[in-house]
Structure 1
Amino acid sequence: MQIQDLIILIYIILRVAPSSYLCYYPFLEDLRLSKKAAMCGFFAIILIEWAIFIFTGRNFDKLPTLYGVYLLYIFYYFAIVKGNKSKQLFCILLSGNFENVLQTLAMLAERFSPTPGYYYATATFVLLLAQSAYFSWFYYTVKKFKQLFRSTKYNKIITYSNYILGLNFFALVLIRNFSEPRTWNLFFARFLCIMPIFFFVYMMMDLLKEKNDNKVMSVKLSS
C-alpha cells in the first residue's frame, strides 16, 4: 500500500464523516440502530469507497467512484433513519449539495499544490477546514430549529425546499466532471448556486419559529 492510499483514506473520512453525522443529526431519536452501529455502517461504506478507488486504478474519474458509492450512502441513510421521508430527503440534499462545493475546493487545492508529493495532503487539509466551517453552520442551524424541524406542522416548507435542493443537486451533478481541469470559476459558480438556498432555508425557519413562539405567547396570555 502506498502512502497516497492512506492519505486518500483520510481524505474520504474527512469528506464523509461530518456529512454523515449532519444527515441524521435531526433524527438521533429516530434511528433504527444505535448511534455507534450507525456510525460503524457509515465507516464500512467509507472503506468500500476506498477499496473501489484502489480497484479502479486509483482513479476518481471512474463511474463507480463518482456515483456508485454515493448511492450506497443515500440508501443506507434512508435505511437507518425512520420517520418523515421528506425531512430525511431535505437533510441529505442539503449535505449533498454543499459536498460538491467542498470537493471542488479540495481538488483546486490539490491541483495548485506547489509540490506534487503533497497534492492529496494539501487537499485533505483544505477539506478539513471547509468541512469544519460547514459542520459548525449546519449544527448551529439544526440545533436552533430542532423542535420546529421535528414538527409535522411545517412539512410544506420542507417539501418546497426539497424541490429547490433537488433541482440544484441535479444541476451540480450534471456539471460535475473530474476529468476536466478545476478552475476557481467553477468553484465560485457552485458556491453561488448553493448559498442562496442556505439563506432561504434559514430565513424561512426563523420566520416559522417566530410565528410559533408568538402563538405560544398568545395562548399563555389568553390563559
Structure 2
Amino acid sequence: MKREFAVIGLGRFGGSICRELSEEGMEVLAIDTQEEKVNEFKEIASHAVIADAQDEKVLKELGIRNIDHVIVAIGDNIQASILTTLMLKELGIKKITVKAQNDYHEKVLNKIGADQVVHPERDMGRRIAHSIISNNILDHLELSDDHSIVEVKAGTKMIGQNLVDLDIRANYGCNVVAIKHGKTNEINVSPMATEVIEPGDILIVIGADKDISRFEKHLVVDDE
C-alpha cells in the first residue's frame, strides 16, 4: 500500500518535499493558505487544497487523522508552525516532522512533541562547510547533535593500506561501516579488516563529530 503524507506549507522547502514524495509515487495532500501556491501543486500532489492548518475543524474535514506522516513546512510564521504542530499532536497523528526557523523554535517543537525537527538552512550550511574543507569529503549527514556519518574519497595517505594498518577505530574513535570500490562500484558493507584501500574508493564513516574531525584532518584531507 502507498504511504500517505500531508505537506503543510508549500514554500521552497515544503514544495520540494511535496514534489519528491509525489515523484516517488506517494499519496500527498498539499496544504497552503495561498491559492497561488496550491494551484502550482494541483497537478503534482494527489490533492492540493487551500486551508488554514491552525483550524482543527478544517484539519478534521480534510481527513488529516488518516495520514501516516505530516510535514509542517510553514515559512516564517513560527507561531503558526507551533500551533499547527500542537493541533496535529492533539489529533493523534502518527508522525510529525516540522521545519524549524531557529534554535529556539526547534527547542519549543521538541518540547511539544514533534517527532522530527529539521533545520534545513543550518544543516545544509554544515554539509557545505564540510564539503569545502577538502575535495575528498563528498557528503556529511548529522545523526544527532554530536554524531554524524560522512562519505569520503580515500585520501592518498590511505591508498595501499588495509583497515588493520589504518586502525581508524583505535586511532580516531570512528568506524568504517562500508566501502564503495571505485573500479567496480560495488558496495561492501561491514568490510573485512584486511581489505585494502584502492584509488577511487569511497568510505562511509560513522562516529562522534570530534572524532570524525580528527579523522578528516589526518587521513582524508590531502596535503596541498
**Normalising by structure 2, what TM-score?**
0.28
Higher-RCO chain (CA-CA 8 Å, sequence separation at least 6): 1
Larger Rg: 2
The structure that is strand-richer by fraction is 2
What is the TM-score normalised by the length of structure 1?
0.28
